[in-house]
Amino acid sequence: MKSIKLGSVSCIAVALVVAFPAAAQQSTPSDTPEVEDSSARTLGTVTVTAQRREESLQDAAVAIEAYDQDQLTRTGLESAQDLGALSPALGVVAGGGPLTSLYVRGVGARTVNPLTDAAVAQNIDGVYLGRASGAAGLALYDLERVELLKGPQGTLYGRNATGGVVNYIPQKPVIGELSGYAQAEIGNFSKFGLQGAVNIPVSDKVAIRLSGSSLDRDGYSDDGTNDADSFSLRGQLLVEPTDRLSIRIAADYSENNALGSGGDLIGTFGNPPAGNLTDFTPSGVPMDSGPTSAAANAIRTGVLHTPSFAFYQPLDVNDLYQNNSFSGVMAEINYETDAGTLTVIPAYRESDQDYTFIGPGFAPAKTREQNSQTSLEARFATELEGPLNGIVGAFYIEEDIQTSGVFAQNYASPIQNYDNGGDSWAIFGQTTFDVTDAFRLNAGVRYTEDSKFVDGISDTFITFCGGAPASGNFLTPPASFGNGCATGIPPHPVISDRDAFIQYFVDAGLIAPGSVATVPGNGPPPVYNLTIPGGISPQIGALVNVGEGALQSELEFGETTYRLGAELDWGDSNLLYAGFERGYRAGGVDLSIAAPTYDSEFIDAYTIGSKNRFFGNTLQVNAEAFIWKYDGQQVTYFTTLNGASSFPIANGDATITGFDVDMIWAATDATTLYGNVQFLDSTYDSLTLISDPGAGRFGCASEGVSGSLETYDCSGQSLLYSPEFGLDIGINHIVDIGNYELSLTADASHRGEQSTDFSFLDATKSDSYTTLNLDATVSPSDGRWSVSAYLRNATDERYFQSVNLNNRGLAYGIYNAPQTYGIRLKANF
């Protein structure tokens, strides 16, 4: 019923916006504000390329938002991991190390390893980023704009764009112009940032643009976590040998060497028989103390790991590091013909990631990942005089990834060593037919084939108190205490090499000499008896490999996606559009014994929207109502399987309905008001999660035990990062001071309560919040330089960006940034 009501309200809202042009056009002059110099108040034109051709944002019949570099800087975004502050529709989660997950209106994917594709596609300079971790290497500097397309883009973008697309578009070289800028920023938390760019005219046909950025900031947490330490460079060469041909070559490189994100220990959930799995006790640990604080470790080391029944070890900030680099080279070749423009974009990108991160169970997790991708896109956009125009193209990408990692949990060590990747190719076309001068129909289709593979070994070494369960010597409390397990069980080394892992125990005299890392198979799991010389018991426990063993799999998928739409110009500056688009994300393989493969996901999006300019081009009002049907969403969640932490992937169905309104009003020559509001209802129609019997910590109803698994029905829950209400509002006022201008800006953001974790527990939800940012900038009338002072999160509003649990109930929450302030200096030439 709620979805029906919201859908009805959405249609009414769009209808009111559509009807407004008639009322505005019939108004008398007295109804319209008098403007002595209308040109000073006229809203500018924002050019976007979201539909693979240049057009005004107001002419693009899609749900899109665009942000220029000034907006990104003023909002205080340090990298692509901060983009969630830009729009009520967008949620961005920074996970361990460079891991990044993007959500649009609840549609997204928790990308915990390179086996999982993103559901929101990211493109840098027109090149698709195969791995979501690439967002950690995207410093937001010297950009022309960032575009956010909301909803599936199954035709023009296709691959892994079920939720939408984020385009990062850098400033391009300009022929015949010597220009650039230099910017420095200092702030609290010892923040120091530099960025700049220079455009060099080499000749009347050649130009070069060089740009760079560096950022260093202390951690927001007392232990130094949640810090920043990054460096980026970009170089571009533009050659225009003829009026019809342009060739642009670009290369970029970035490093991230920060400790990374770290959550505070916010509390503990109960463990039977002492308490229920979902009973939550707040920790009382101060906010921003960090995951390795003495207070957090005092609680952590009082919790027993199972099945070793040894106390967790303290976390140490010295175990944290990131040595991640990202680089790429691409070319964009455009050739204009009388019929249209041919565009060819070959590209190569690679990353080398070596990092650790800590969390509820990880102490720490360590990953070494090297990946490379080669891609090629070619498209032809027609520019014909007749009523029919369109675009046709082809796309190819090949990925190759090597990963070695251990999700160390003191007494349980999932070790994964594997190669994965694959290739994908697609052909696509989209056309628009002008039925009349004011009415257009459009249609598009894309066929995609995806091939994926994984080849490697997955081990899960778990220590059992007393002995392996099959031996009959396995001990639980209170007998485990008498055996000395609580304090005598040796913790595991943080080693991702399976042979070196076993050799560590051999060298320490803990297991039999000559022991080797046997690959698990279909028979009984390999067992290594643990002995402690001089211990209470001659055999304190057993190290058992319950992993999946050798993994070798190849999967292929093929799918056709399409869109249909209609557009109607109601006036010179008024557009009404409606459309349907189908999105697709291929299934794949996973390192989970319970679900080694997962199915493809699909989304069908129905949209009606309107884009309008009123009152002499001084008021812009855009609105959109939508209904999305999500089929088979790939849900990566945390659970306990075979006694160890696991991240299987489930497929769930959901319905998402809502509407949003975007407004900009040049109220006076000096004052501009703007805002964006979104109402959203997102609900899982079906979603089943699994765990070991009696180990599922979910806010969902148990469906009972079948075989070795317990299932939970999570239908009726809201999708992650999909608040029912979101609002961004702001005001900019310009004060003339002789030959100088003072620009005053205030931005406020509100988000309703939202889930951050697939446990669906109240303690893991982010409460509703409102933040306020203030900015004051002084510059001369010629704009040659500027000095800015800023105050972000002025009221020091704190909320969870994400909450994570482990299988023994430890809960760590990552908060947003506290109040920050600083000064920014910029010189333009």
Report the C-alpha gap between 461 and 545 in whole angstroms.
4
Report the C-alpha gap between 563 and 167 in whole angstroms.
20
Let me know: does 510 contact 493? Beta carbons within 8 Å.
Answer: no
- Other C-beta atoms within 10 Å of 161: how many? 31
Let me know: does 464 contact 530? Beta carbons within 8 Å.
Answer: no
Output the six-digit token pair for 121.
């596609």
Output the six-digit token pair for 249.
């070559």
HEC string for 773-824: EEEEEEEECCCCEEEEEEEECCCCCCCEEEEEECCCCEEEEEECCCCEEEEE
- Main-chain dihedrals φ then ψ at residue 713, nearest 5 degrees: -95, 110
Q: What is the DSSP string of 288-357?
A: TS-TT-HHHHHHHTTSB-TTT--BPPPP-GGG--EEEEEEEEEEEEEEE-SSEEEEEEEEEEEEEEEEEE
pLDDT of residue 136: 65
- Main-chain dihedrals φ then ψ at residue 402, nearest 5 degrees: -120, 130
Determine if residue 596 is left, alpha or beta; phi over 0 gives left, psi from -120 to 50 gives alpha, anything else beta: alpha
**CA angle in degrees (0–180, nearest 5) for 267-273-276:** 45
- Other C-beta atoms within 10 Å of 54: how many? 10
Q: What is the DSSP string of 654-670?
A: EEEEEEEEEEEEE-SSS
Low-confidence ranges of the chain (pLDDT < 50): 1-39
Q: pLDDT tens for residues 288-299?
A: 999 999 999 999
- Other C-beta atoms within 10 Å of 678: how many? 24
pLDDT of residue 6: 46
- Going from the C-alpha of 720 to that of each of 365, 652, 696, 755, the distances in angstroms are 24, 13, 19, 5
DSSP annotation of 123 reads E
Listed residue (794, 799, 795) closest to 767, CA to CA? 799
Listed residue (400, 398, 403) closest to 416, CA to CA? 403
**Rounded-to-5 percentages of helix, strand, coil across the chain:** 10, 50, 35
- Going from the C-alpha of 203 to that of each of 64, 176, 177, 207, 234, the distances in angstroms are 37, 7, 10, 7, 21
Please, which residues have CB within 8 angstroms of residue 58's CB and are 6 or more apart in sequence? 45, 46, 573, 575, 611, 613, 620, 622
Residue with tokens 């070596």: 354
Q: What's at 401, amino acid-wise? A: I
